[in-house]
Amino acid sequence: MKQGTHLKAELILVSVTVLAGLGWIFSKEALAGLPPLFFMGARFLIAGFVLVLAGRRFFSGLAWHDVKKAILVGVVMGVAMAFWISGLDKASNLGVGAFITSLGVVLVPVFGRFIFKDHPPKSIWVALPVAILGLGFLALGNGVSYEVAQLLFLGSALTFALQFNLLSKLSTRIHVLVLTAIQLMVAGAFLLALSLFTESLPVSISIGVAGWFLASTLIATSLRFLLQTYGQSLTPTSHAAVIMNLEPVWTAFFAALWFSEAMSLFQLVGCGLIFLAMLISRWTQIRAIFTPS
């Protein structure tokens, strides 16, 4: 693969992490006027429909047994997003929440080991205690306790790790764009069903809230997934995996700019340790990048 193609792919994937970071800001603003589960359900349904329109030609010849697998993963994704959006609704610090959610990166191979009997690299067992230490520092930053939001973000990280394992284990012949669209729409329907029984819809929605909703749906979801799919097709998985670790960094940066958020020393150390654990867990991929072929 040409060097120029690599550079193009990496720039696209960096932009994907920027959009993901902005998505936290868009979503937090939209939650000022929308119930969290309804917001997330509607956002995912619309974003999934946009992807269907963008990739119509890939939907021909779908087999039902493949679709069933995608639906299962979509339900798990819905559970993960229910945790995440509930945490976001209650969060006092988006940067801290982003780093906790990113623990899913470290937990993916751990789930694979104990549920699917995989054999993760040794770097995972080095990364895990570093991540746990990081969580400990985050607890110290809140009077030796966790906010409810932080526990919800941790729940989302655990569920995201399970979802990723199911994606890799449930072999499918579905194109990645089609798979993403089905997951988004199934997760959206699941969240809307939860919302129907647990939330009350607002009588009216302001133009500002509607704008944030559209930004989170079209920019931070549909455009993000389209760019991510394209970028990953241009570069090795190892490169993409390392670049995607930037999402919590961008989230913390944008939250500091937009909401004037600041972290305590303990929170900074905790987030730093979690980011270090993410890099350690990706050590095999990082080494592959810098090792001459």
> 165: domain range?
3-290
pLDDT above 90 coverage of the chain, percent: 44
d(CA 210, CA 216): 10
The answer for residues whose C-beta is within 8 angstroms of residue 13's C-beta and 6 or more apart is: 227, 228, 231, 232, 235, 239, 240, 243, 244
Judged by average pLDDT, the poorest of 29-33, 140-144, 267-271 is 140-144
Whether residue 245 contacts residue 102, with contact meaning beta carbons closer than 8 Å, is answered with: yes
Res 1: pLDDT: 47
Backbone angle region of 91, left / alpha / beta, with phi > 0 → left and psi within -120 to 50 → alpha:
beta
Say if residue 236's pLDDT is above 70: no
Q: How far is CA 223 from CA 143, 179, 269, in A?
A: 40, 16, 33
Torsion of CA 56, 58, 63, 66, to 10 degrees: -110
Res 167: pLDDT: 76
Torsion of CA 22, 153, 259, 45, to 10 degrees: 40
Average pLDDT of 73-86? 95
Whether residue 6 contacts residue 154, with contact meaning beta carbons closer than 8 Å, is answered with: no
Res 237: pLDDT: 58
Whether the model pTM is above 0.85:
yes
Judged by average pLDDT, the poorest of 9-18, 109-118, 129-138 is 109-118
Say if residue 58's pLDDT is above 80: yes
Closest Cα to residue 281, out of 58, 163, 127, 63? 127
d(CA 280, CA 127): 5
Say if residue 288's pLDDT is above 80: no
pLDDT above 70 coverage of the chain, percent: 90
Say if residue 70's pLDDT is above 70: yes
Neighbours of 7 (CB within 10 A): 12
- For the chain, the maximum distance between any two Cα atoms, rounded to a whole number of angstroms, is 61
Res 235: pLDDT: 67
pLDDT band at residue 240 using 50, 70 and 90 as cut-offs: low
Judged by average pLDDT, the poorest of 77-81, 113-117, 220-224 is 113-117
Say if residue 100's pLDDT is above 50: yes
Torsion of CA 112, 181, 234, 224, to 10 degrees: -100
Whether residue 267 contacts residue 143, with contact meaning beta carbons closer than 8 Å, is answered with: no
Closest Cα to residue 52, out of 216, 174, 171, 161? 174
Number of domains in the chain: 1
Res 21: pLDDT: 95
Average pLDDT of 259-281? 90
Per-residue model confidence as pLDDT tens digits over 187-208: 999 999 999 999 998 888 999 9
